[in-house]
Amino acid sequence: MKNIAIIGAGTMGNGIAHTFAQFDYNVSLIDVSKDNLDKGIATITRNLDRMVSKEKISEEDKKRTLGNISTFTSLADGAKDADLVVEAATENEKIKLEIFKELDSLCPAKTILATNTSSIPITKIAAVTGRPKQVIGMHFMNPVPIMKLVEIIRGYNTSDDITNQVVELAKNLGKVPTEVNDYPGFVANRILMPMINEAVETLYNNVAGVEEIDTVMKLGMAHPMGPLQLADFIGLDVCLSILEVMYEGFKNPKYAPCPLLVNMVRAGKLGVKSGEGFYDYSESKKAEKVSSQFVS
């Protein structure tokens, strides 16, 4: 596999594109918005500049990585020669199913179709294609260029050969591929999201404040980031979407989103991306100031 198409130039998509390009794959970064593509390339450039300043890569490495990336606003143009497509669009089931239907009709018969979904069943996505044996989950962690884990999720019909190819590909990127089964939330989010939801419940029930909850988990459980800060980093809308998928998939009340989380998303308080969540990011992208709504 040499030609990789990435769908979506947002946080995950540009990180995945950066990683493949840095390891000398030919990357087609696809997004319906030219503005999103420009922002994605700007983010990749900033991240590469940071690596150069820390002497992790050379200026030549940076130029080579950027030279390996081409941008497209057309799915047909960007994916037509792909050996592998990695879909990293928004975590919306309807959108993902539409993308995979289109990919199935556009891509060569050899193309492997992967999704970076964090919760939607791979088997469900594969079912809208005529190549379910070639559909697989590649769930990268954010920030992609730094985080080593890739959850490899095989659908009900994913072949052994495709799974083995994708596992080896992840290793070629310097990642640690970990195979998990196709159930809502997989492993990472099946464990992480209930913890975040419980942290929100703890705040909702006035057991403790935002900083206190995060401090307990950082200093008491050795987490590098507290659950509320992490939720802001992920995006509260993304957390809510994953919890809703898990609640729908299991019908278990323990996955029901906390009403506070639901209301914050409705109010547009999405975390870092919107400038406010549990913390206020109007002055700094770091969680240095608790949002005024949680200050008594």
Angle value at C-alpha 121, between 3 and 103, nearest 5 degrees? 35
Whether 36 is catalytic is no
Q: Is the confidence at residue 143, as pLDDT, over 80?
A: yes
Q: pLDDT tens across 205-245, in order?
A: 999 999 999 999 999 999 999 999 999 999 999 999 999 99
| Residue 209 near residue 294, CB atoms below 8 Å | yes
Q: Is 111 annotated as a binding residue?
A: no
Is residue 147 domain-shared with residue 242, that is, in the same domain? no
Q: Is 114 annotated as a binding residue?
A: no
Q: Would you mind telling me the total number of residues written for the chain in this entry?
A: 296
Q: Is 71 annotated as a binding residue?
A: no
Domain end marker among 157, 180, 203: 180
For residues 67 and 65, what is the distance between their CA atoms, to the nearest angstrom?
A: 5
Average confidence (pLDDT) over 185-214:
97
Domain end marker among 115, 148, 180: 180
Q: Is the confidence at residue 28, as pLDDT, over 80?
A: yes
User: Which phi and psi (to 5°) does residue 5 adopt?
Assistant: -105, 130
Is residue 16 domain-shared with residue 133, that is, in the same domain? yes
Q: Over the chain, what is the mean pLDDT?
A: 96
Q: What percent of the chain stands above pLDDT 70?
A: 100
Query: What are the Cα distances from residue 163, in Å, to 74, 144, 155, 177, 211?
Result: 28, 20, 10, 11, 42
Which residues are 71's β-sheet partners?
29
Is residue 141 domain-shared with residue 219, that is, in the same domain? no
Whether 18 is catalytic is no
Region of residue 141 (phi > 0: left; psi between -120 and 50: alpha; otherwise: beta):
beta
Is residue 253 domain-shared with residue 170, that is, in the same domain? no
Q: Is the confidence at residue 76, as pLDDT, over 90?
A: yes
Is residue 240 domain-shared with residue 123, that is, in the same domain? no
Active-site hit among 87, 151, 244, 276: 151
Write down the pLDDT at residue 153: 98
Q: With bands split at pLDDT 50, 70 and 90, how would you rate the model's confidence at 285?
A: confident
Q: pLDDT tens across 94-132, in order?
A: 999 999 999 999 999 999 999 999 989 999 999 999 999
Write down the pLDDT at residue 296: 73
Q: With bands split at pLDDT 50, 70 and 90, how would you rate the model's confidence at 282?
A: very high
Active-site hit among 116, 118, 197, 291: 118
Q: Is 118 annotated as a binding residue?
A: yes
Is residue 141 domain-shared with residue 242, that is, in the same domain? no
pTM of the full structure: 0.91
Q: Is 31 annotated as a binding residue?
A: yes
Domain residues for the domain of 111 are 3-180
CATH number of the domain enclosing 53? 3.40.50.720
Write down the pLDDT at residue 276: 97
Q: What percent of the chain stands above pLDDT 90?
A: 97
Is residue 175 domain-shared with residue 193, that is, in the same domain? no
Q: Is 96 annotated as a binding residue?
A: yes
Whether 276 is catalytic is no
In-domain check, residue 296: no
Q: With bands split at pLDDT 50, 70 and 90, how would you rate the model's confidence at 160?
A: very high
Active-site hit among 139, 244, 276, 291: 139
In-domain check, residue 295: no
Average confidence (pLDDT) over 139-155:
96
Domain end marker among 116, 145, 180: 180
CB neighbourhood size of 203 (10 A): 21
Domain count, the chain: 2
Is residue 19 domain-shared with residue 140, that is, in the same domain? yes
Is residue 210 domain-shared with residue 107, that is, in the same domain? no
Q: Is 8 annotated as a binding residue?
A: yes
Is residue 155 domain-shared with residue 225, that is, in the same domain? no
For residues 12 and 155, what is the distance between their CA atoms, to the nearest angstrom?
A: 22
Q: Is the confidence at residue 185, as pLDDT, over 80?
A: yes
Write down the pLDDT at residue 275: 96
Q: Is 19 annotated as a binding residue?
A: no
